[in-house]
A = this chain, B = another copy of it.
Amino acid sequence: MAKFTVLVADDDQDIRDGIEIYLKNEGYDVLKAADGKEALELLEANDVHLLILDIMMPNMDGITATFKIREVRNIPIIMLSAKAEDSDKIHGLSVGADDYVTKPFHPMELMARVKSQLRRYIQFGTYDGQKKIEVDGLVLDEEAKEITVEGDVVKLTPIEYKITELLMKNAGRVFSINEIYERVWNEAAYNAENIVAVHIRKIREKIEADPKNPRYVKVVWGIGYKIEK
């Protein structure tokens, strides 16, 4: 397989260098930019296949840069944002990005997303705008951050949405309680049973006709939860 080139744009040099080390270990070529303007210049001068873009940068922020890039090219863009920033707002603004990761992130997770985006890029040749997932009568609209059951909009809280999103995007796969906690809260699971159980129950109350006999969010006793494909 030909080598891919990844452009990393972040104003923090430690983060740039850290990401570079991981990417090189995975066999990618790496270019680095300290701000959005520099990123655009490098993008024009080189054959770049994927872009990792911090939102907060001097000269030109990541969102503006994304708009500029999208006018010309369709390469995968992964956005980085600080956890402190309002993630909902960021998500809303970051239309045009293919994926986004909140800091602090686990390097291996970023690598996984890079791989996944490149796979998609290669496979479809271009980014496909499909942002709806459907399982049975349950629909997840990633752009509107909205879930509908048989056409009716259901109002979920951020955590409830993220759990449902995780289960729907991986429908059929069972997630242990710890896994759910780690992927939604983005921190190591420690006594997570109860809190996840409470949120699962809230989700069921909202999306299940009969929460006692759930049609979507099913328990796999002793292992975890899943939404059937």
Which residues on A are within 8 Å of B, measured CB to CB?
Answer: 12, 14-15, 17-18, 21-22, 25-26, 70-74, 76, 90-91, 93-96, 98-99, 104, 106-109, 111-113, 115-116, 119-121, 123-125, 127, 143-146, 157-158, 161, 172-174, 178-179, 182, 188-190, 220-224, 226
Contact = CB atoms under 8 A, between A and B. Distances in A.
B70 A189 contact: no
Contact of A96 (B21, B71, B112, B127): B21
Contacts of A95: 14, 18
A199 to B, nearest CB: 13
A18 to B, nearest CB: 5
A96 B18 contact: yes
A109 to B, nearest CB: 6
B119 A182 contact: yes
Contacts of A144: 172-174, 226
Nearest to A170: B143
A197 B170 CA distance: 35
A70 B120 contact: no
Contact of A73 (B15, B17, B25, B115): B25
Contact of A182 (B116, B145, B178, B220): B116
Nearest to A176: B119
Contacts of A224: 145
Contacts of A70: 21-22, 25
A73 B21 CA distance: 10
A94 B105 CA distance: 10
B190 A108 contact: yes
Given A144-B226, A157-B221, A220-B145, A124 B96 contact: no
